[in-house]
A and B are shown apart, each in its own frame.
Chain A
Amino acid sequence: GKLTLLCDAKTDGSFLVHHFLSFYLKANCKVCFVALVQSFSHYNIVGRKLGVSLTAARECGQLVFLEGLKSSVDVFFRAQAEPHPLQFLREADVGNLQPLYEFIREALKPMEDGQAAWRYPVLLVDDLSVLLSLGLGAVAGLDFMHYCRVAVCWEQKGNIVALVHDSGDAEDEENDILLNGLSHQSHLILRAEGLATGFCRDVHGQLKILWRTPSQPAAQRDRSLTYQYKIQDKSVSFFAKGMSPAVL
């Protein structure tokens, strides 16, 4: 029952999402993926490079995929009979994410007959910052994550992985509220940053890993590690700071 927070600042942290998706699918877990940023075929093609097939997983029920872009078009232009997970797109004032939460809860419910015994359920959210752009407040996002944590982490002993953008110096207060709130609740924070000196061909960025224990008192120190990475076609190579093969 852990919450992992993926954070990216000035660079694209989506390689972490692809990694976790393929990791949990290979580990035979039931995954609910809320993909708000890209289409299904994008994740499918990258997943194939990393060794999993999303179409096969979706067909046998291991993966429940909510494609944000496609469903938003349906929700926006046609009034839906039953509440749709992205119902807030149609509402004028600040909506809430309850239909989305119900959808996730329904998707990750353990099956009664127990024929396909997957391991613990996992919720992957591709981008929580996009929810802020779509008209929701930071408080709604935090409430949603809290409900999901109760349902997934505590009741079903599953994991949650969520990606949030760090706006840096763009003064996005709502994003900062969401990011700070989630980083206090999470057990593991992976922070992908661009290099401070700017663009580099051989080192794409820096990854800071922070292990936390939210429930314990702050006297115990958190462990942290920093690596620099370079993204390649099918994998990501990590090395210690300054030890890029291009420099040595």
Chain B
Amino acid sequence: MAAAADCGTGAGSTGSIGAAACKNNVTSFQRKGPRASGTDSGCSRLVSIAGTRPSVRNGQLLVSTGLPALDQLLGGGLAVGTVLLIEEDKYNTYSSLLFKFFLAEGIINGHTLLVASAKEDPADILQELPAPLLDDNCKKDFDEDVCNHKTPDSNIKMKIAWRYQLLPKMEQSGPVSSSRFGHYYDASKRMPQELIEESKWHGFFFPEKLSSTLTTEPRSLTGGYRKLLQFIQNVIYEEGFDGSNPQKKQKNILRIGIQNLGSPLWGDDICCTENCDNSHSLTKFLYVLRGLLRTSLSACIITMPTHLIQNKAVISRVTNLSDTVVGLESFTGSGRETNPLYKDYHGLIHIRQIPRLNNLIYDVSDVKDLAFKLKRKLFTIEWVQDNYLRQERNIYPPGFSYLLKQKDSAWGEGSLQHSTFLMSFLAKATAFASRLVRHSEPLKQTGSGRILQASGPRLWHDGRRQATPGLLAIPPS
């Protein structure tokens, strides 16, 4: 990859930190190596399902989310049996796009779909799915896109520090010809009708089911959630996704998509008031849904309008109960639309949570400031240089960030006011000094909350040196 080549040239004049960062990038690329061969290297019994592949890290079966860039950020894909929660953006433009990508991926791979919505008829949702990009059409589109990127890149090389060249661009490679995992979609075209008709899907449209009778218990959930859970459970049981039906020879994945969960259209008032009566309905629903998913071959995507939920505790509970959480923040109508930094992008994407499945550690990408854009046909996710020195924080000890550039400081954009050698020297000095000082006050949040206030090295307090544990004194027992 291009970044690995740049690592060799750029690492000439720097200290040991550069080498460490370079090494990490090389190993991370080695980790991604087996991905190219994809399904060939997996074990035979897991690969037998179309559109899935085992994870490189822990052997977990993964399905694609429909966006190869998002797959890469989530560590290869979405694990089967887990929930992907998408926190919607304000006008629900891009989250519904991600929802459709997920369903379109299911149709291409031949998975069974279950679409649940309280707003649109599932049949209408399926008509609006984006068309897959075929190899011959999109190759030339990709080439011109890559060329457009090349010229601004060479200018940026001069301005920013060498380290930024090492950070990988998200997903610049074009579609693989034998793409059995992760396809690209053209958001401006519709999926051909025959593909939709060939696919197997189940729809749950809540207004239709309002009047139907059903079993009265259990009463612990609101009506909409209860019916949806029973519908999902019926489909799983009857189609044999949980392995209980021995006659089903062909294993397949069930892709469940639930749109706008938690909105008032489902009969839940969690978005309307702060103290609602049924505040536990949504969380209970998520818990039982996860129980259903864990015992069957299915993956679920849920879009939830969390910006409408007034009770912050519910949002944190919902996040804890889901496996993967991705938040979208679009720039439409906000002040950032006119910010020259964001002029190419349509919004920010935050990866809030990634599950640790079957493992103590998990695949987390190193870049945290990600933005997405919908460029003519493709949805790409790229790293945006928002806070220039934010990446520096990775190597400095905690307590050092007061020296880093704050968000709206007087420093101009595109320039560094100090040399990196001085910063690395200061880092080592402060690491040594911070061991001598006890930081005991809790750190408060200042300003926008984007950067937490960090404590500086306090060597003098009230004219005296503060008590120094560790090196100079024996800790009281």
Contact = CB atoms under 8 A, between A and B. Distances in A.
A234 interface: yes
Contact of A197 (B217, B315, B398): B398
B280 A134 contact: yes
A70 interface: yes
Contacts of B294: 39, 69-70
Contacts of A169: 445
Given A133-B317, A170-B312, A197-B398, A248 B477 contact: no
A49 interface: yes
B320 interface: yes
A242 B398 contact: yes
B368 to A, nearest CB: 6
A236 interface: yes
Interface string B363-393: 0101010000000000000000000001001
A58 interface: no
Given A73-B292, A175-B313, A200-B393, A231 B360 contact: yes
Given A167-B316, A231-B360, A242-B435, A196 B394 contact: no
A234 B360 CA distance: 7
B387 to A, nearest CB: 10
Contact of A170 (B233, B287, B313, B360): B313
Nearest to A196: B443
Interface residues of B, number: 61
B261 to A, nearest CB: 15
A234 B341 CA distance: 42
A134 B283 contact: yes
A14 B313 CA distance: 21
Contacts of A202: 394-395
A18 B360 CA distance: 8
Given A130-B287, A196-B452, A232-B361, A79 B217 contact: yes
A165 B320 contact: yes
Interface in A125-142: 129-130, 132-135
Contact of B396 (A89, A92, A241, A247): A247
A191 B395 CA distance: 23
Given A133-B280, A170-B316, A197-B401, A243 B220 contact: no
B330 interface: no
Interface stretch (B188-196, B262-270, B351-359): B351-359
Contact of B317 (A92, A172, A200): A172
A160 B122 CA distance: 48
Contacts of B451: 198
Interface residues of A, number: 64
B230, B283, B358: residue with the most chain A Cβ atoms closer than 10 Å:
B358
Interface in B258-298: 280, 283-284, 287-288, 290-292, 294-295
B368 A69 contact: no
A114 B397 CA distance: 54
A231 B361 contact: yes
B356 A14 contact: yes
Interface in A179-204: 195-203
B321 A76 contact: no
Contacts of A135: 220, 280, 284
B393 A197 contact: yes
A228 to B, nearest CB: 8
A174 B316 CA distance: 13
Interface of A: 12, 14-15, 18, 38-39, 41-42, 45-46, 49, 68-73, 76-77, 79, 89-92, 129-130, 132-135, 165, 167, 169-175, 195-203, 221, 223, 225, 231-234, 236, 240-244, 246-248
Closest 7 CB pairs of A and B: A172-B313, A133-B283, A69-B291, A170-B316, A135-B280, A92-B219, A90-B218
Given A49-B360, A92-B218, A248-B428, 11 more contacts: A15-B360, A69-B291, A71-B291, A72-B288, A76-B288, A77-B230, A133-B284, A196-B454, A198-B401, A199-B368, A247-B428
24 contacts: A15-B360, A18-B360, A45-B358, A49-B360, A69-B287, A70-B291, A72-B291, A76-B291, A130-B320, A133-B283, A133-B284, A133-B317, A134-B287, A167-B313, A170-B316, A172-B313, A174-B313, A198-B452, A240-B435, A240-B470, A242-B398, A242-B399, A247-B397, A248-B431
